[in-house]
Amino acid sequence: PPLLSLPPELHSMIAQELRYPDLLSLKLCHPYFGLLLEDQPTICDRIQWLMSRARVGLPVPQSTKLSFLSDVAFVAKPEVKAILRQRLRHRECIECAQARNSIGRMLGMRKGRMLCFVVEGDCCPQAQIPE
């Protein structure tokens, strides 16, 4: 069934399992979810998301004028929009070799393995590296 036809209790349960960028996408995709999730995510969630990206070498906004006060203000910055758009298309799984190699070394994986930064898996469904 379509997501909107599920009961609100299930919407809340699903939202609790989502990481920040996925929760943000859900919140911004439909006014219903915007109202249901208005208290989520928090300023700390936004900051933790950027810190976790920086830790593994994924792109982070370089602007000193980011606003963490609300999701709308945070996403209003072109750098943040671009990162979310790239993530949605799995572009960072394909293009961020530094992050992929860093995580791969930490996990003891062979070089060239296509990690997925979107679903946090060891094989990106969108990325294929020719051998």
Q: Which domain holds residue 114?
A: 90-131
pLDDT digits (tens, 9 = 90+) for 42-71: 899 999 999 998 988 888 999 889 999 988
Same domain as 96, residue 68: no
Same domain as 79, residue 24: yes
User: The tokens of 87 are what?
Assistant: 């993530």
Is 50 exceeded by the pLDDT of residue 131? no
Q: Within 10 A of 5 (CB to CB), how many other CB atoms are there?
A: 7
- Dmax (CA) for the chain in angstroms is 47
The number of folded domains in the chain is 2
Same domain as 121, residue 79: no
CB 68 within 8 A of CB 47: yes
- 110 — phi, psi (to 5°)? -70, 150
Same domain as 69, residue 116: no
pTM of the full predicted structure? 0.74
pLDDT of residue 80: 94
